Amino acid sequence: MERHSENPSTDQLDSENELSEHFEATIARDRRIEPRDWMPEGYRKTMIRQIAQHAHSEIIGMQPEGNWITRAPSLRRKAILLAKVQDEAGHGMYLYSAAETLGAGRAGLTRMLITGRQKYSSIFNYPTLSYADVGVIGWLVDGAAICNQVPLCRSSYGPYARAMVRICKEESFHQRQGYELLLTMMRGTAGQRAMVQESVDRFWWPSLMMFGPPDDQSPNTERSMAWGIKRHTNDELRQRFVDMTVPQAGKLGVTLPDPGLRWNADRGHYDFGEVDWAEFRAVVGGAGPCNAERIARRRAAHQEGEWVREAAMAHAAKNHDDPERGGAAAEAAR
Ligand SMILES: [Fe+2]
Ligand SMILES: [Fe+2]
């Protein structure tokens, strides 16, 4: 980790002012802030909140698609879906580890999630009603996640930016497997095509909500951009996603449920209709179709895993004390 940082260690800089100037200069030179570096409390808090929300989204995001693992239509589809859902668990793990480097432990963050004090992406509060949802989530939800996350590979906090590089590679696989599943279904029966269209109709608008509120209602955007935590505004990323997705919808042969959607030659972008922000606020506020179910499931999984955590701790403590296993405590005692 040291080689990524060119910052002097804290004891080389004596005053808070110098530390602050050094931090600002690091951001201005587009260099990374590393865990050992001094950072303003506001930066640390913003970073913890963003990484925690992201980690929670990965873990909660396992549930909607996990719902279809036992009912996948073939062994091949089951293997792909299992791998994808496991990737999301891995993304959660990298991100909880990144949060740990800022002093936010995983146990504390899990508590915040299961007591509803920290958020996760609103998209995962919608149900998965048909197998086409697996394809549509890969195409639209992982597609939106890629738009959001590719710029985060250049985020100013080193451990977060590096975690994002690997995550983005895997998200790209997720997006392609979704699109490939949909292409297959669209080549199938009329019933399969209708199933895909019905799923697109349900997921299109919630996917646009994944980029967060409009810029003029996003109080944190300006500071996050100044600190290099965010590289583009919510509206810029939403536009990028629409521009990327409309031609894919055409190729797939589905209609996006927005009568206002059309190419604007003057802007060089697609125009699109207004997202239902009242629905967005309701879902973020806990009133979405599956909020209670998602949290209850996560809480139950945490409780059911209690004995595993206890056993792992006991095992680690035993190894630590056992000279045969060369534990640190044993070394010290020798
Ligand atoms: Fe992910
Ligand atoms: Fe994904």
Q: Does position 7 have pLDDT exceeding 90, yes or no? A: no
Ligand 2: distance of its center to the CA of 139 in Å? 10
196 in Cβ contact with 190 (< 8 Å): no
For ligand 1, a single-atom ion, the residues with CB < 5 A are 58, 88, 91
Ligand 1: distance of its center to the CA of 250 in Å? 26
Q: Which residues pair with 270 in a beta bridge?
A: 263
Mean pLDDT of 307-327: 83
Mean pLDDT of 39-47: 95
Task: Return the closest-CA partner of residue 131 out of 207, 57, 80.
Answer: 80
Ligand 2: distance of its center to the CA of 216 in Å? 29
pLDDT at residue 208, rounded to an integer: 98
Tell me if the pTM is above 0.85.
Answer: yes
pLDDT at residue 185, rounded to an integer: 98
Ligand 1: distance of its center to the CA of 259 in Å? 31
Percent of the chain with pLDDT over 90: 85
pLDDT band at 334; cut points 50, 70, 90 = very low
User: pLDDT per residue over 166-207, tens digit each?
Assistant: 999 999 999 999 999 999 999 999 999 999 999 999 999 999
Q: Does position 23 have pLDDT exceeding 50, yes or no? A: yes
Ligand 2: distance of its center to the CA of 177 in Å? 10
Ligand 1: distance of its center to the CA of 322 in Å? 39
pLDDT at residue 41, rounded to an integer: 95
pLDDT at residue 187, rounded to an integer: 98
Looking at all shown ligands, the one closest to residue 141's CA atom is: 2
Looking at all shown ligands, the one closest to residue 64's CA atom is: 2
User: pLDDT per residue over 238-262, tens digit each?
Assistant: 999 999 999 999 999 999 999 999 9
Mean pLDDT of 216-241: 90
Ligand 1: distance of its center to the CA of 27 in Å? 27
Q: How far apart are the C-alpha atoms of 194 and 254, rounded to whole Å?
A: 9
Ligand 1: distance of its center to the CA of 130 in Å? 21
Higher-confidence residue of 272 and 4: namely 272
User: pLDDT per residue over 133-150, tens digit each?
Assistant: 999 999 999 999 999 999
Looking at all shown ligands, the one closest to residue 174's CA atom is: 2
Ligand 2: distance of its center to the CA of 88 in Å? 6
Ligand 2: distance of its center to the CA of 33 in Å? 26
Ligand 2: distance of its center to the CA of 187 in Å? 24
Looking at all shown ligands, the one closest to residue 121's CA atom is: 1
User: pLDDT per residue over 84-128, tens digit each?
Assistant: 999 999 999 999 999 999 999 999 999 999 999 999 999 999 999
* Per-residue H/E/C for the chain: CHHHCCCCCHHHCCCHHHHHHHHHHHHHCCCCECCCCCCCHHHHHHHHHHHHHHHHHHHHCHHHHHCCHHHCCCHHHHHHHHHHHHHHHHHHHHHHHHHHCCCCCHHHHHHHHHCCCCCCCHHHHCCCCCCHHHHHHHHHHHHHHHHHHCHHHHCCEHHHHHHHHHHHHHHHHHHHHHHHHHHHHHCCCHHHHHHHHHHHHHHHHHHHHCCCCCHHHCCCHHHHHHCCCCCCCHHHHHHHHHHHHHHHHHHHCCCCCCCCCEEECCCCEEECCCCCHHHHHHHHHHHCCCHHHHHHHHHHHHHHCHHHHHHHHHHHHHHHHCHHHCCHHHHHHC
Looking at all shown ligands, the one closest to residue 58's CA atom is: 1
Looking at all shown ligands, the one closest to residue 84's CA atom is: 2
Q: Does position 223 have pLDDT exceeding 80, yes or no? A: yes
Mean of pLDDT over the chain: 92
